[in-house]
Amino acid sequence: PHALVWFRNDLRLADNPALQAAVRAGFVPVPVYIHAPDEEGDWSPGAASDAWRQRSLQALAADLQARGSRLQVFRGDSLATLQRLATQVGAEAVFWNRRYEPAIEARDAGIKRTLRQQGLRAESHNGALLFEPWQVQGKTGDPYRVFTPFWRTAQAQWRLPAASEPPERLPAPPALEGAVDIAALALAPTLRWDAGFWDEWTPGEAGAVAAASAFAMQALDGYGDGRDRPDRRGTSRLSPHLHFGEIAPWRIVRLLEGVAVGEDREAYVRELGWREFAHHVLHHFPHTPEANFNPRFDGFAWAQPTPQQLQAWQHGRTGIPIVDAGMRELWHTGWMHNRVRMIVASLLCKNLRVHWREGARWFWDTLVDADLASNSLGWQWVAGTGADAAPYYRVFNPVLQAQRFDPAGDYIARWVPELASLAPAQRHAPWTGTIPRGYVPPMVDLAKSRQAALDALARNGR
């Protein structure tokens, strides 16, 4: 008997519960992928995400082929496609791993119901998280709004699945009608703005495992302090691999268990905990990609930016070096260091008082790790409107932040070469001397705009 294995954001063969379940139940797995961006509500994937997905799908297709199977790719309505394919091969079952974006959860629930009504076995599994978003509950059953108690409860329920190796061989599935080439999905950009990405990244399962192993060997030691330093390679850069499900979080945890650095490992697993918390918040507060978590800010007087202001921020021409470095790193590599994400977001939402949604949208389109749960949480956290928000009156000072976390200005010099000729101490605030040719003066007065933000927040009624 045949079963469709519907790949989504679980583009791997190891630790893949849906694939495992199909094989264990004695089915010939028929791996399929359906491209249906219209079904993602207001959050169809952005351009950087698409560019990654194309490569990740190619890697999965090659991995399946090497095992005797094959990935068949389709375009169009997911339910109708699954129904058609199931009929064509006489499949008895459809297996998939869950996604947690509100629009997708609703769609998938409908698909499961319909398939079951038609007599098919339709089964979803957890392939993405250490804890299901609804699993961690306080005594009252209310969702958590603050990370620390969430994580404490989660850890008390800690039950890590064993890592499982990919199947060595898979039976060949029948050829399906209507399959298209991955290239025909046109996910890769026609203007090659992503050229710089692929020096940094290797999408796909092998790339994910290599990145995790390299991190465990080289950067985990010292992660607790090093994770805040954009001038060093101190973090794992696993976020896009995790988003696309190229590696299971529990495999990462298991891998790190083999490396004897207790505190750093704990600090790292705690960051994975933030990813879990982001999914918990999105599940319980599904409006938070669009609307304030904290309704107190619903009447807040955001400023209407001019297109020029927005562009200066987007293109890394604000005149504030650490911000420009971050925005250019994002543009060139599809990723930005977490500390710098906070700094650039604070400049946009606090100093420029632009609604956090503007920033979230730009990140959505440009990040290779764009993830509805983590992005919404991150933006609302910095804006001060969110769950477990930074105190609303916290306005990052980008100069002090740069002095502290990029002390020699190496990160700035790497991404803003106009400033590389300056002495390290000058790179954080070039306007204290002569601004080099080709660079721009700051687009806002940091002290005045900070005060204006605080005044606006005070008017909003503490």
Question: Which are the catalytic amino acids?
Answer: 271, 274, 302, 338, 356, 379
Within positions 99 to 118, which residues make up the interface with ligand FAD, using CB under 6 A?
none
Q: Considering only 55-63, 98-106, 181-189, 232-240, which stretch makes contact with ligand FAD by CB under 6 A?
A: 232-240
> Least distance (Å) from ligand FAD to the CB of residue 378?
3
HSE toward the beta carbon, residue 322, CA cutoff 13 A: 33
Asked whether residue 237 is marked as a ligand-binding residue, the answer is: yes
The residue (of 57 and 238) whose beta carbon lies closer to ligand FAD is: 238
> Least distance (Å) from ligand FAD to the CB of residue 12?
15
HSE toward the beta carbon, residue 269, CA cutoff 13 A: 22
User: What is the spatial distance between Cα 306 and Cα 326, in angstroms, rounded to a whole number?
Assistant: 21
User: What is the spatial distance between Cα 164 and Cα 356, in angstroms, rounded to a whole number?
Assistant: 40
> Least distance (Å) from ligand FAD to the CB of residue 327?
12
Tell me which of 9, 54, 78, 235 binds ligand FAD, using CB under 6 A.
Answer: 235
Contact indicator for 57, 73 with CB cutoff of 8 Å: yes
> Least distance (Å) from ligand FAD to the CB of residue 253?
11
Q: What mask, x for binding ligand FAD by CB under 6 A, covers residues 374 to 413?
A: xx-xxx--x-------------------------------
Sheet holding 93-97, edge to edge: 72-75, 28-35, 2-7, 93-97, 121-125
Using CA atoms, how far residue 255 sits from 109, 132, 189, 213, in Å, is 34, 21, 35, 7
The residue (of 200 and 418) whose beta carbon lies closer to ligand FAD is: 200
Asked whether residue 78 is marked as a ligand-binding residue, the answer is: no
Q: What mask, x for binding ligand FAD by CB under 6 A, covers residues 267 to 306?
A: ----xx-xx--x----------------------------
Please give the span between the terminal C-alpha atoms of the chain, in angstroms, as a whole number: 63
Tell me which of 236, 351, 385, 449 binds ligand FAD, using CB under 6 A.
Answer: 236
User: What is the spatial distance between Cα 240 and Cα 371, in angstroms, rounded to a whole number?
Assistant: 9
Asked whether residue 56 is marked as a ligand-binding residue, the answer is: no
The residue (of 40 and 271) whose beta carbon lies closer to ligand FAD is: 271
> Least distance (Å) from ligand FAD to the CB of residue 459?
25
Tell me which of 239, 351, 401, 449 binds ligand FAD, using CB under 6 A.
Answer: 239
The residue (of 189 and 224) whose beta carbon lies closer to ligand FAD is: 224
> Least distance (Å) from ligand FAD to the CB of residue 321?
19
9 binds ligand FAD (CB under 6 A): no
Contact indicator for 207, 236 with CB cutoff of 8 Å: no
What residue has token string 């420029």? 352
Q: Considering only 29-37, 66-74, 170-178, 231-239, which stretch makes contact with ligand FAD by CB under 6 A?
A: 231-239
Within positions 317 to 376, which residues make up the interface with ligand FAD, using CB under 6 A?
338, 341-342, 345, 363, 367, 369-371, 374-375
> Least distance (Å) from ligand FAD to the CB of residue 345?
4
Using CA atoms, how far residue 326 sits from 3, 240, 243, 284, in Å, is 45, 17, 21, 31
Q: Shortest Cβ contact with ligand FAD: which residue?
A: 378
Contact indicator for 108, 9 with CB cutoff of 8 Å: no
> Least distance (Å) from ligand FAD to the CB of residue 377?
6
Largest CA distance in the chain: 74
What is the DSSP pairing of strand 121-125 with strand 72-75? unpaired
Other Cβ atoms less than 10 A from the Cβ of 169: the count is 9
The residue (of 57 and 382) whose beta carbon lies closer to ligand FAD is: 382
User: What is the spatial distance between Cα 456 and Cα 433, in angstroms, rounded to a whole number?
Assistant: 32
Tell me which of 227, 229, 265, 427 binds ligand FAD, using CB under 6 A.
Answer: 227
Here the tokens at position 110 are 């409908």
Asked whether residue 223 is marked as a ligand-binding residue, the answer is: yes
Number of residues located near ligand FAD, criterion CB under 6 A? 28
Asked whether residue 370 is marked as a ligand-binding residue, the answer is: yes
The residue (of 72 and 380) whose beta carbon lies closer to ligand FAD is: 380
User: What is the spatial distance between Cα 215 and Cα 235, in angstroms, rounded to a whole number?
Assistant: 7
Contact indicator for 35, 13 with CB cutoff of 8 Å: no
Which contacts qualify for 118-124: CB closer than 8 Å, 24 or more apart? 118/83, 120/86, 120/91, 120/92, 120/93, 120/94, 121/3, 121/92, 121/93, 121/94, 122/93, 122/94, 123/18, 123/21, 123/93, 123/94, 123/95, 123/96, 124/18, 124/95, 124/96, 124/97, 124/98
Asked whether residue 86 is marked as a ligand-binding residue, the answer is: no
Asked whether residue 296 is marked as a ligand-binding residue, the answer is: no
SS3 230: coil
HSE toward the beta carbon, residue 379, CA cutoff 13 A: 25
Asked whether residue 235 is marked as a ligand-binding residue, the answer is: yes
Instruction: Kindly list the residues in this chain that would bind ligand FAD in the complex (CB under 6 A).
Output: 227, 235-239, 242-243, 271-272, 274-275, 278, 338, 341-342, 345, 363, 367, 369-371, 374-375, 377-379, 382
Residues forming the annotated binding site? 223, 235-239, 268, 369-371
Residues forming the annotated binding site for FAD? 223, 235-239, 268, 369-371
